[in-house]
Amino acid sequence: KVLLDEEFKLRPERVLSVKAGLLYMASPNNPTGNQFDRSAVEEVVEGFSGVVVVDEAYAEYGRYTLIREAPARENLVVLRTFSKAWGLAGMRVGYAVANRKLATLLKERGMVFACSSLSLKAAELMLERWNEVEKAVEELKRAREWMRTEMSRLPVRVYPSDANFLLVKLPVSSSWARERLLEKGFAVKDVGRMPLCEDSVRVTVPPKPIAETFIKAVGEILER
């Protein structure tokens, strides 16, 4: 494991100092929500001697994708999913983009029946509705930035996000806050035990009316 820096940035020199045959990174990252600087990721891909797997599960909410680069790279595999922006979490549909050699290797090592015909049909139908998905993604991005601005008025730190959630650092115990918010009808993910995330919770971006009530609830528990 290679830790990010205190601002959750990817430091290529740290990664490239590790000897390994395979490197996995999620960008946008979970639970921090940030997408690593493209130049930093590309530096890692170019300098790493093994295979680099970049999980772009939340890339629709981010600033860029490496999909178009993957086929031309010798050691890059990009993973995508229909579980997030496409709304098909229960269908378990995803895909990998890589050069022909790596793609063939993945196919040979993969499950014989990786997806059901129903799941594949659902994914096909969603592709035909890309305009609707794109609109929903843009709406969520606006809601995310609004929510981050409003929550920043509280005595908390809300980190920038390129995903459909926010990481919030609290001035109180994250486990205590989780229980108090649950009493008010809100479920957040306590990530306080994860590296660099002490006293932090992950909050999925909801519709604005729910977000307003949630922000009020956070303010109330912090006043105790």
Give the model's pLDDT for residue 112. 67
pLDDT in tens, 104-153: 999 888 776 778 999 999 999 999 999 999 999 999 999 999 999 999 99
Cβ atoms of 167 and 200 within 8 Å: the answer is yes
Q: How far apart are CA 34 and CA 8, in angstroms?
A: 8
Q: How far apart are CA 58 and CA 174, in angstroms?
A: 24
The average confidence (pLDDT) of the chain is 96
Per the model's pLDDT, the better-predicted residue between 107 and 165 turns out to be 165
Q: What is the DSSP letter of 6?
A: T
pLDDT in tens, 8-22: 999 999 999 999 999
Q: Which of 157, 174, 175 is nearest to 166 (CA)?
A: 157
Per the model's pLDDT, the better-predicted residue between 116 and 158 turns out to be 158
pLDDT in tens, 50-95: 999 999 999 999 999 999 999 999 999 999 999 999 999 999 999 9
Q: How far apart are CA 181 and CA 198, in angstroms?
A: 18
Q: Which domains does the chain have, with CATH numbers?
A: 12-127 (3.40.640.10), 131-222 (3.90.1150.10)
The pTM score is 0.93
Q: Which of 10, 42, 45, 6 is nearest to 28 (CA)?
A: 10
Q: Which of 136, 137, 204, 140 is nearest to 166 (CA)?
A: 204
